[in-house]
Structure 1
Amino acid sequence: MDKGNIILLNGVSSSGKSTLSKELTKILPNYYHLSIDDFDIVIERMEDRENDRLIPVPTEYFFHRTIAMFSDKGVNLIVDQILHDSFTTEDCYKTLKDYPVLFVGVQCPIEELERREMQRGDRRIGQGKQQLEYVHKSEVYDIVVDTYKDSLEHCAKNIAQLIQTQELPQKWAVNCFVPEI
């Protein structure tokens, strides 16, 4: 069985990853959306935060292995996540290095991030700006989209066109420096 393709959307909070994922599932109906935000909810439900009974492993560790599990069964995924620190980045690359991944950078200007944070009301203002201190610094993407400059439909069509016209290698070619874990 061939591994399922993975479209991995990386961008800071409020950059448009989740909305873009939903747009992509309209164009690519044989792909399923998996979000780190949704996965966080599962982990939170397992934990007892009031009594400080927490799972002592970063959520991303389980998330990356779940992505691999779906791909191993031939399921195509659109994944939205934030590679926000060295552990998350290194674990993602290490876990998915033998998988067919299209690596997408999702960007938009800081002013727009802050406007979206205020509009949504469920994010700390400045969270996206703070994450930019790490995100997009060393990654080499297969494609970069700007969800402010271009419509979500345009961004999704560009990504879909790339995935439909090029065969993804069965092994992710990680083109950026990732220190050993």
Structure 2
Amino acid sequence: MTDTGRIVLLNGTSSSGKSSIAEELLRRWPTPAFRLAVDDLNAMRAKAQTRALDQPGLAETLRRTRAGFHRVVAGMAAAGNDVIMDHVLSEPWRLADCLELFRPFPVLLVGVRCAPDELARRERARGDRQPGTAAAQLDLVHAHGDDDLTVDTTRRSPADCAAEILAAVPGMGEPNAFSRLRAQA
């Protein structure tokens, strides 16, 4: 078995720029790495069966999907792969699950922020998100209050944000946001 991989967890609302930053990170990462996004896992789910679920059934399916996503990331890192994780920590259990599962790995928790008016503009431009989704997530996603690094995509390019993140990667280790958040739990 190889050494464990590193995890860069990009946490932000829908339309905040996580995916664009992740793609830029992949282009610049010095070794092979993987971008794993919760949206990609959601896209793999059978659509007809999901549409037929009542609200409690849908909520449980989404919870299982997200819990599975966390385990996919942990499995890839355990196999020695560096992972750029694109996620929305909008429910406290998601962060708690990651704090526990990612204990063996170096994690860089990156808060991806964007001004509310720009989030709304991006949602309208995308056309594939329900308007107001990002605004509803804004306070929830960053409620934990501690990141290793925060980038603001309101006026900064994905390339600029990726460069800042890459500069922080060599310093990954403890103490970090994950160790501080674990100590608070």
| TM-score of the superposed pair, with normalisation by structure 1 | 0.87
Q: Name which of 34, 37, 40 aligns with 1:35.
A: 37
SS at match of 1:148: coil
Structure 1 unaligned blocks of 5 or more: none
Q: CA deviation at 1:149?
A: 2.6
Q: 1:27-66 counterparts in 2 under 5 A?
A: 27-28=28-29, 29-42=31-44, 44-45=45-46, 48-52=49-53, 56=61, 57-66=63-72
Structure 2 unaligned blocks of 5 or more: none
SS at match of 2:97: helix
Q: CA deviation at 1:39?
A: 0.9
AA aligned opposite 1:168: G
Task: Quote the residue 2:8 is aligned against.
Answer: 7
Q: Deviations over 1:67-89 (max 9, x none)?
A: 11001110111010000112212
Query: Would the aligned equivalents of 1:100 and 1:172 in 2 still touch at CA under 8 Å?
Result: no
Aligned positions, number: 178
Task: Quote the residue 2:79 is aligned against.
Answer: 73
Q: Does residue 157 of structure 2 align to residue 155 of structure 1?
A: no
AA aligned opposite 2:46: R
Query: Would the aligned equivalents of 1:6 and 1:102 in 2 still touch at CA under 8 Å?
Result: yes
AA aligned opposite 1:98: P
Q: CA deviation at 1:47?
A: 7.3
Partner Cα separation in structure 1 for residue 135 and residue 36 of structure 2:
24
Q: Name which of 115, 121, 132 aligns with 1:115.
A: 121
Q: CA deviation at 1:98?
A: 2.4
Q: 1:128-167 counterparts in 2 under 5 A?
A: 128-163=134-169, 165-167=170-172
Taking a change above 3 Å as real, the CA distance of residues 120 and 46 of structure 1, as seen in their structure-2 partners, is closer
Partner Cα separation in structure 1 for residue 5 and residue 105 of structure 2:
8
Task: Quote the residue 2:104 is aligned against.
Answer: 98
Taking a change above 3 Å as real, the CA distance of residues 179 and 167 of structure 1, as seen in their structure-2 partners, is closer
Q: CA deviation at 1:46?
A: 8.2
Partner Cα separation in structure 2 for residue 97 and residue 20 of structure 1:
24
Q: CA deviation at 1:178?
A: 8.1
Q: CA deviation at 1:48?
A: 2.0
Q: Deviations over 1:14-65 (max 9, x none)?
A: 00000110011111052211100001122x2287235438775521110111
SS at match of 2:14: coil
Higher helix proportion: 2
SS at match of 1:116: helix
**RMSD over aligned Cα atoms:** 2.5
Once the two structures are aligned, what percentage of the paired residues are identical?
A: 33
